[in-house]
Amino acid sequence: MSLTLYGYQGSGSAAIEAALNLVDRPYQLVNAASWDPASSLDELKRVNPLAQIPTLVFDDGTVMSESAAILIELGLRHPASGLLPEDPAGRATVLRGLVYIAANCYATIGVIDYPERVLPGPSEDEAKRVVQRSRARLHELWDRFADQFPAHPFLGGAAPSALDILATVVSKWSGSRPHLRAARPAWALVFEKVEQHPAFVAVFERHWPQQP
């Protein structure tokens, strides 16, 4: 039986698609998102009442959400894939980076997308200020990430890992690429290598067609 992935174009579900391609697992993709009532939202809610994407349903019926957690589980189920490095030091680096992105970058992006969550009933000017400051904070977080996780030639080692996949996808859909190219140009090249990897190129072209 194949797996079922609930996701949406231009979203974080691209990371799970890329990982599934790498581990060579067939999957059914269901187009669903909380912001698109015309999508398969009701079906998504039946398996995940929080309506989060990505949500992955394994062939044994196990339901998982949270991109970092899904990537870790896929790495554990497919140790030969390289999603999680075999050596303890490399694996520790990847796990640390995955949690860093989930705990810091994701949280800040949430404020950018929904400023009213931190400032109830903001005026247009207040919402703009919250978004601007949060965007600046997101850039700071990416800079710190780049300084702590040097590429050699990928973040997880000689081949792309779960960390390379998640960092590439999140930096893409959060709109942080222009900043990274200017602030950390050599490091930003890692993302371009990941996007052109044979296992991932079709995923990125589908999610972000003609977007640099």
Q: Is residue 209 part of a domain?
A: no
59 and 92, same domain (yes or no): no
DSSP string for residues in 95-114: HHHHHHIIIIIHHHHHHHH-
Residue 183 has pLDDT above 70, yes or no: yes
53 and 139, same domain (yes or no): no
77 and 102, same domain (yes or no): no
Q: What is the CATH number of the domain that holds 47?
A: 3.40.30.10
More confident residue, 16 or 157: 16
| Domain with 36 in it | 3-81
Q: Is residue 119 part of a domain?
A: yes
What does the pLDDT look like over 105-163, one tens digit per residue? 999 999 999 999 888 998 999 999 999 999 999 999 999 999 998 888 898 788 999 99
128 and 56, same domain (yes or no): no
Q: What is the CATH number of the domain that holds 158?
A: 1.20.1050
Q: How many domains does the chain have?
A: 2
Q: What is the pLDDT of residue 187?
A: 84
Q: Is residue 70 part of a domain?
A: yes
From 58, 81, 104, the end of a domain falls on: 81
Distance CA 167, CA 180 (A): 12
49 and 122, same domain (yes or no): no
Q: What is the pLDDT of residue 152?
A: 80
Q: Is residue 210 part of a domain?
A: no
Residue of 78, 68, 64 whose CA lies nearest to 12: 68
135 and 38, same domain (yes or no): no
End-to-end CA, the chain: 36
What average pLDDT does range 19-29 have in this prediction?
96
What does the pLDDT look like over 32-55, one tens digit per residue? 999 999 999 999 999 999 999 999
70 and 107, same domain (yes or no): no
What average pLDDT does range 55-70 have in this prediction?
96
Decide the pairing of beta strands 55-57 and 27-31.
unpaired
53 and 93, same domain (yes or no): no
What does the pLDDT look like over 81-91, one tens digit per residue? 999 999 999 99
21 and 116, same domain (yes or no): no
21 and 67, same domain (yes or no): yes
The CA angle 166-173-107, to the nearest 5 degrees, is: 70
Per the document, the length of the chain is 212
User: pTM surpassing 0.85?
Assistant: yes
Beta strand segments in 48-162, E: 55-57, 63-65
